[in-house]
Structure 1
């Protein structure tokens, strides 16, 4: 950013961006624990249909609770994304600097690490 720096982001915008990163991380972690197919589907042996490196087991599909949880997580991600994009701060950034400012916000808003809580899941 040329006319401003990372410390010029309002605290509430930084908090929203951190929440958005958290929501994405929780969503990815939750999806990683689910069966590979949303609907029940038969697996296949390596080389039988696709070029996977190992056999793909049958998928029992997702339960209705798992589908609801994924939908709820996506809704939270959408709401946070809209809140970040529509934040009044962006009206103060020169139009030609908005993309660079947004990229800088993404870097500033990254969680510092540590375990991801799956309490919302």
Structure 2
């Protein structure tokens, strides 16, 4: 399999799981308070803020911190699996970067691709 666009099925699935893990992590973080530790907010005039007034943050609970850490650990494990996959040994050095970028594009979950396309159309 020297063609950089012909990826093994298990590598494609691993890359798809990595994309999904990143998306789940981003969605989880978006629902949490803006500061990990409790912090007083401010009004726009007190500090620069492109968001306007920033409310107080109660910080994250221990459970939220553990969940975020667990999700980051899963992302690291999946990324290591993609990078260390035996397939990369068969790819010539001069096309390795392009091949890895192709895998990222090709390994996107179908729903994410469809959602991205429908968001662009709107």
Q: What TM-score range do you get, normalising by the shorter chain?
A: 0.7 to 0.9
Distance (whole Å) between structure 1 residues aligned to residue 28 and residue 3 of structure 2 = 37
5+ residue gaps, structure 1 = 115-121
CA RMSD of aligned residues (A): 1.2
Which residue does the alignment assign to 1:98? 96
Q: What whole-Å deviation, never above 9, does each CA across 1:43-72 have from its counterpart, x for those lacking one?
A: 001121113342100000000000000000
- Equivalenced residue count is 111
Q: State the 4+ residue runs in structure 1 displaced beyond 3 angstroms.
A: none
5+ residue gaps, structure 2 = 113-122
User: TM-score, with normalisation over the residues of structure 1?
Assistant: 0.88
User: TM-score, with normalisation over the residues of structure 2?
Assistant: 0.87
Distance (whole Å) between structure 2 residues aligned to residue 101 and residue 5 of structure 1 = 5
Contact kept? 2:33, 2:60, Cα under 8 Å: yes
Which residue does the alignment assign to 1:117? none
Contact kept? 2:11, 2:82, Cα under 8 Å: yes
Structure 1 residues 5 and 86, CA, compared in 2 at 3 Å: closer, same or farther? closer
